[in-house]
Amino acid sequence: MRVVGRYALYEEIAAGGMATVHFGRLLGPVGFSRTVAIKRLHPQFAKDPEFVSMFLDEARLAARIRHPNVVPTLDVVATQGELFLVMDYVQGESLSRLIRASRERQQRIPVRYVATIITGALHGLHAAHEAKNERGEPLRIVHRDISPQNVLVGSDGVSRVLDFGVAKAAGRMQTTREGQLKGKLAYMAPEQIGGEVTRQTDVYAAAIVLWEALTAQRLFTGDNEGQILSKVLSGEHMPPSALAPELPPELDAVVLKGLAKQPAHRWATAREFAIALERCCGIASTTEVGEWVESMAHGALTKRAEKIAEIESSSANIQPQEMTTAHVPEHLASHPSLSGRSGPHPAADPPVSQASQLSSISVSREASSAKKPRRNLAIAIAGIATLVGVIIVLAFKLGHNKTDDARTGSPPPETTHATATETATAPPPPTVVATATQAPTPTVTATATATANTGHINIRHTSTAAYTAAPPPPTATATATATSSKNCDPPYTLDAKGHKIWKRECM
């Protein structure tokens, strides 16, 4: 096991000419973790700027394709002179191994299962062909390496396209050197050998994969590359029913149209090819395909499941490695995918982070733990300031209430409290004997606990209650009778509960 940034790197799953694929484990915070597949570029290629660009372009292109039939790219890690591409881990088997297992058992894959697998791959291809950059411009991606090895069939019954390492796209940083061929010769379209590729090139390769899945045989074979090349350029193909007589003739027509020598005579899009295949022979459910995959690759899948269980239990206490730019070699840091600078023909922005989907092309960094004490101190200071503010507000309100009581010139009267959960209207006070016409008694609604104090409403706390205010003093037209000693004996009135209400004119 080796820790690479925030990932733990384990043993190999598969190996290729440029890279190896390993089991991996994301070492996330607060116990968040997940199993991933990590593609590791061979160290000797990590020193070659062309291979570095090819590797990073693969990540940038794959991150722009969002489809369930394409293996998603999650992250790129550059450290200590090496590059690692982090992908979603899919429990399953490659179509090439499934075809080989069928051939060893002298069986053919059921037609409906083949249709389900190939149509899924075609839909994933169509998503790649239709992908756009961040400005909405078509990327015109061509995979150029569709083969049974690059179609992964999961135990969930879903097929997925992977490995965009040699894909061609508009504005790609890495360009093919003159005279070089990208892809596998036995799955190349005739025009691809001449250097021209379009989406019909991928349709042709997918038709070869379909032919081989139906027959469990290779379409182009030879003792050397020259013989294979001659067969590819001839454009002559036998129908799959020549080796599998049980196949319907209409299926032969679908396959041979995909294998047409001229691109214009093939299916216009991968999606059109998929629809024709579905209509021809129907498709099986993903449950059926998943069970078939489990039966054909039971031994390998069981070993991988055991390995994953071991990885998950052993990685619980592993700490992620702190990453800094010092770990990134100069020839890696200068690449636009890592530095954030765009080249002359930018193809796509770095993938956006998904946290908890992790889709970013960047150098992994961990935040420094030194920031935590400063953050805790700031929280403590804010809490103390809040407490002091509350005390000041309460003291101000208490002093304000005492001032109101002193202005009345008499001891604080008894108070009547209304509960906050009900709305009550205090009974109106007795009317003052006066010859003048008094204004109507106003109704004051207060969201507070009220204090009855010589007609004064004192708001103390927040609650919901409605009160009827005491009547206003008589108008200027009132006669002297209203202020005579007769009306001030006694100088108060009693409400319905027996509480004294002092008369304003007698104070």
Query: pTM (2 decimals)?
Result: 0.63
Assign residue 295 the CATH number of its domain.
1.10.510.10
Confidence of residue 322 (pLDDT cuts 50, 70, 90): low
Residue 425, pLDDT > 90, answer: no
Residue 232, pLDDT > 80, answer: yes
Average pLDDT (355-370) is 36
Residue 227 sits in the same domain as residue 79: yes
- Residue 320 is predicted with a pLDDT of 63
Residue 153 sits in the same domain as residue 241: yes
| Cβ contacts of 128 within 8 Å, gap of 6 or more | 61, 65, 67, 70, 141, 143, 161, 164, 167
Residue 378, pLDDT > 80, answer: no
As given in the structure block, the two tokens for residue 98 are 């499934």
Give the Cα separation of 15 and 7 in Å (integer): 19
Residue 385 sits in the same domain as residue 445: no
- Residue 321 is predicted with a pLDDT of 61
Residue 357 sits in the same domain as residue 401: no
Residue 202, pLDDT > 70, answer: yes
Give the Cα separation of 23 and 89 in Å (integer): 8
Average pLDDT (10-19) is 83
Confidence of residue 477 (pLDDT cuts 50, 70, 90): very low
Confidence of residue 200 (pLDDT cuts 50, 70, 90): very high
CB atoms within 10 A of CB 101: 20
- Residue 166 is predicted with a pLDDT of 58
Residue 356 sits in the same domain as residue 379: no
Q: Specify if 391 maps to a domain.
A: yes
CB atoms within 10 A of CB 432: 18
Residue 290, pLDDT > 90, answer: yes
Element (H, E) at 396: helix 371-407
Question: Is the Cα torsion angle 406, 409, 410, 416 positive or negative in sign?
Answer: negative
Q: Specify if 366 maps to a domain.
A: no
Percent of the chain surpassing pLDDT 70: 64
Beta bridge pairs of residue 38: 22, 86
Confidence of residue 302 (pLDDT cuts 50, 70, 90): very high
Residue 204 sits in the same domain as residue 333: yes
Q: Give residue 395's domain range.
A: 371-407
Mean pLDDT taken over the chain:
73
Residue 403 sits in the same domain as residue 447: no
Average pLDDT (400-419) is 46
Q: Could you list the active site residues?
A: 145
Please indicate whether residue 434 or residue 2 has the higher confidence score (pLDDT).
Answer: 2
Residue 461 sits in the same domain as residue 399: no
Per-range mean pLDDT, top range of 53-67, 205-219, 364-378 = 205-219
Residue 336, pLDDT > 80, answer: no
Residue 134 sits in the same domain as residue 237: yes
The structural domain count of the chain equals: 3
Confidence of residue 275 (pLDDT cuts 50, 70, 90): very high
Give the Cα separation of 23 and 12 in Å (integer): 6
- Residue 421 is predicted with a pLDDT of 36
Domain final position from 351, 383, 407 = 407
Residue 288 sits in the same domain as residue 337: yes
Residue 172, pLDDT > 50, answer: no
Residue 326 sits in the same domain as residue 392: no
Q: Specify if 474 maps to a domain.
A: yes
249: three-class secondary structure by DSSP: helix
Closest to 72 in 3D by CA, of 341, 262, 315, 351: 351
| Cβ contacts of 503 within 8 Å, gap of 6 or more | 432, 487, 488, 491, 492, 493
